[in-house]
Structure formats: C-alpha cells, structure tokens
Amino acid sequence: MEKIDVAVLGATGTVGQKFILLLRNHPYFEVREVVASQRSAGRPYTEACGWKQDIPIPTNVAGLRVKSIEEQLQSRILFSGLDSSVAGTVESKYAAAGHLVISNSSNHRMDPQVPLVIPEINPEHFQLIYSQQYKGAIVTNPNCSTIFLAMAITPLHRAFGVEAVNVTTLQAISGAGYPGVPSMDILGNVVPYIGGEEDKIETEPLKILGALSGDVIEPVSMKISAQCNRVPVYDGHTETLSVKLRSNPSLTEIRRVLEGFSGLPQELGLPSAPQKPILVLDEPDRPQPARDSWLQNGMATVIGRLRKCPVLGIKMVILGHNTVRGAAGAAILNAETMVRQGYMKNGEHLPKGQRRTPIPVPAESR
C-alpha cells in the first residue's frame, strides 16, 4: 500500500506534537506538511516547535518548513490539533478545498452532518460525510474524557441498557495544553472547573451512541451528569462513575461484558488499535495515571473498582491517556478505519454515492 500524504494542523502544540510522535513510521501515512500559526510559519519545524515529547523529533519532520493556516496544502488527509479559537473556520476552509480533515478540535463535533466517531462504537457514522456540502469532509473524535466514558458505558448499554450516569472527572494538566495550568493554581490543589467540559461530556455520548437514520443521528435516550476537575497529574484522565442500568446484572456479568468488548479496529487489526480496548483491573487501588495510562500503548480504557452502588446500581473508576487515546491517537485510529473501510481510494476522498470497497493492507502492516 502506497502511503498517504498527511499534514498536521496546529503541529507545534501539545496535541500536534503527539500527532507527529504517533505518526512516525506509520504504515499508512507519511507526514509531508506541518502547519501552525503565522508566528511559526516559514521556519523549520525543529526551530518553530518547543518539542516536549519523550523522544527526539522524527528526522523526516524536523526539517519541514512550517506553513501557515493561510496557505494551500497538498496533503490529502489533514490531522487537526488546532485550538478551538481558530479551528472552526480553518477546518471548514480546508474541507471546502477538498481535504479530508480529521479533527481533535471541538468546533464541529455536534454539527448534524459531521461524524463524531469512536470506531469501536459507531464506525457507521462515517457515512455522514456524504451529506456534507464540502468538496472534502470533516470527521471528529470526541472530547478526551468523553471517549473513556463512552467506551465504558457502550458495552453496558448494549447488554443491559443504561438509563443514567453520574461522572466526576479528575483531568490531567496536559489536557490544558502547554504550558498548562500555572503552578501556583494547580500544585497541591484541585481546580473544580474546566470551561465547557461538563457540557461536552453530557452531550457528546448521546450522539456517539445514537442511531444513524439516513443523514441524521438520532441521539440515544440517556441522562448524564458530569462534574469536571483539573488535578496535578501530568498525563491520564481518571473518572469515577455511577451507572443506572435497566436490568440488574451481577458484577460477574458486568465484568464479562466489559472484558469481552471489541469492535471494528480490532477486527481489522489496525495499527493503532489496542488489542483489548477495555482492560479491567482487580487491584483495589487501581487504575492509577502514573501506572496504567500507557497500557496498550496508551490506547486502552482501563477500568477498576467495579462494585455495587447504593444509589444508581453500579460504580467504577476508569482511566485513559488523554493526549493519546483521548486526542491524537483517537484521530489517527479514525483515519486508519476510514482507509481500511474504503472511504479513501488511492488517497482521494470518495464522492457521494460511489461504492466503497475495502483497501487491502499488507499483512506485515497489521
């Protein structure tokens, strides 16, 4: 399979850097363009970027000239880690020009014709791209905390029916981008407010778990109440859940359903897919961000402390890596799924009405 040229929008930021890191040596994609604000444009990436990752900048990217968001791009797929203050108009502009924009930004997530996808859960929602008015298309992944919540409740909803969820998040400072939260605000402290987060967590899962009906998503009927906190943890979002189910399964049945969950990425053996998308731990003091956020290469949802709840029925603690599965890794997995499902043919976005055919990928790439 010939690699598809891709660009990273917002390439110098926290999520943009994670895109660069996760795309190194990728079997499907090759980073050909890096895009950032005007103040970074024109400089080599290695000079424009204050690199904060654990390994050096990949050599194939280090010397690339940073392009501004005003420039035309040649890459077929654009991974967007842009800040929401600019992402909406920039992503629309590039989609109108014919690019497939796969975005981690929040601006278009709730647009009726824009897919909001976790490919283990709702890959059929990719079909919404054919109802968009762009020459290209926009696809989004959810908010970082939403992803782990949706991964945990989806198998429960399918097996037993979820009526209500009460969730409290303990979100890492890396979720605020670099430099994050001022040290005098976060060290030894908990900040019980993250702007816009609670609304995202309460609404996005309803679209994700909704049913595709023609060109419309019918939201699932479920009540979600969220409270969000910023905590002095570098990476890894922890969430505590209480869940009300329609039926009354045993904890053994609930665990069996959670551990047995998998989806299309696992079936296809996609490069970024975790072998087990949900891991259930037995230790009474797990999961912990410092010990468990990198399980399955940072792409798993880790669940622990599964027990009865005297108010809603069951409760648990969940954890995920917020800048990998909660951001860049989620977008890359969406792109891999679209390629393997045939939404891209020879790297080009298929027009509405054209039949999709899966693109074979060499066995060594799986």
SS3 helix, strand, coil % of the chain, rounded to 5? 35, 25, 45
Write down the H helix ranges in the chain: 14-23, 45-48, 59-62, 84-96, 144-160, 183-186, 197-208, 251-259, 264-268, 289-292, 329-341
Task: Check residue 74 and report its DSSP letter.
Answer: -
Catalytic, 309? Answer no
Which positions ≥6 away from 310 have C-beta within 8 Å? none
230, β-bridge pairs: 171, 191
Catalytic, 125? Answer no
Structure-token pair, residue 216: 């419309």
First CA to last CA across the chain, in angstroms?
12
308, β-bridge pairs: 314
Q: Which is catalytic among the residues 144, 157, 228, 321? A: 144
Q: Which is catalytic among the residues 125, 237, 321, 349? A: 237
Backbone angles phi, psi at 360, to 5 degrees: -70, 145
Q: Catalytic positions, please?
A: 144, 237
